[in-house]
Amino acid sequence: MPYDPPPEIASLSITKIGELIEARKLPPVESWNPERTGDSKMRINSDGSWMHEGAPITRQAMVRAFSSILRRDAKGGYFLVTPYEKLRIEVADTPFIAVDVTSQGEGADRILAFRLNTDDLVVAGPDNAITISEENDEPVPYLHVRSGLNARISRAVFYELADMAISEHENEDNEIIGLWSSGAFFAFEGNA
């Protein structure tokens, strides 16, 4: 069954987002250990663009298909894995970019859902943490997607999150600026 990308995330309820996430069954790449290995001659750039032999992969359906068989090993290497082969893929920063966010609720009842550049949907929570690193004295936000794979949160999306966090901080007089999602609190400062 082909995968249809979801409509704009802002038009979806959190319930519908959960249904779409559940409906997208990913291959069990963690259980595949093929003997045949090699290099895919592919790269994921820091802007989230996928390249093959230096040329961009422009078909979004192909990017979605490849992203569904992506795995990260214990040493931090990235691979495209099928039952028959395991091919190394170079990743500049992270394999995904969080390009959109929607929020439902407030405070500890808030739920944050993200849309990735691959059209995957991820709800932040205990299993999908938001973390902040620093790069050149600037905050760099990430979202855990699955099995050691992360998405870098785009600058525009991070600004949306920061606005929500600052507004909530002012209203609730919290000591730490951050946001709740799915019962987990994510600090936006000091968690690098």
The DSSP annotation for 23-59 comes to H-PPP-GGG---SEEEEEEEEE-TTS-EEETTEE---
Do 40 and 104 fall within a single domain?
A: no
As for how many domains the chain has, the answer is 2
Neighbouring residues of 178: CB distance < 8 A, sequence distance ≥ 6: 165, 185, 186, 187, 188, 189
Pairing of strands 85-91, 78-81: antiparallel
CATH number at residue 78: 3.10.540.10
Q: In 3-state terms, what secondary structure has residue 18? A: helix
Q: Could you tell me if 87 and 100 lie in one domain?
A: no
Domain limits at 34?
25-91
Q: Are residues 171 and 147 in the same domain?
A: yes
Q: Is residue 19 part of a domain?
A: no
DSSP string, 137-190: TEEEEEEEEETTEEEEEPHHHHHHHHHHHHHHHHHHT-SS-EEEETTEEEESSS
14-57 confidence digits (pLDDT tens)? 777 777 777 777 888 999 999 999 999 999 999 999 999 999 99
Q: Are residues 104 and 144 in the same domain?
A: yes
Q: What is the pLDDT of residues 167-192, one digit of tens each?
A: 877 766 567 889 999 999 999 875 44
Q: How confident is the model at residue 136 (pLDDT cuts 50, 70, 90)?
A: confident
CA–CA distances in Å: residue 80 to residues 103, 111, 117:
32, 31, 18
Cβ atoms of 150 and 144 within 8 Å: the answer is yes
78 and 103, same domain (yes or no): no
Contact criterion met (CB below 8 Å) for 99 and 153: no
* Residue 15 maps to a domain: no
Query: How many whole angstroms separate alpha carbon 152 and alpha carbon 131?
Result: 10
Categorize the per-residue pLDDT at 4 as very low, low, confident or very high, splitting at 50, 70 and 90: low
CA separation for the pair 29, 6 (Å, rounded): 23
- Are 118 and 178 part of one and the same domain? yes
179: domain CATH number is: 2.30.270.10
Task: Please indicate, yes or no, if residue 16 is contained in any of the structural domains.
Answer: no
From 72, 91, 110, give the residue that closes a domain.
Answer: 91
Is residue 125 a part of any domain in this protein? yes
Residue with more model confidence, 13 or 53: 53
Please name which of 97, 157, 113 lies closest in space to residue 9, comparing C-alpha atoms.
113
32 with 64, same domain: the answer is: yes
pLDDT at 81 over 90: yes
Q: How many CA atoms lie within 13 A of 158 on its CB side?
A: 19
Query: Based on the domain organization, do 104 and 170 belong to the same domain?
Result: yes
Q: Is residue 168 part of a domain?
A: yes
Q: What is the mean pLDDT of the chain?
A: 88
pLDDT tens per residue across span 89-125: 999 999 999 999 999 999 899 999 999 999 899 999 9
Q: Is residue 4 part of a domain?
A: no
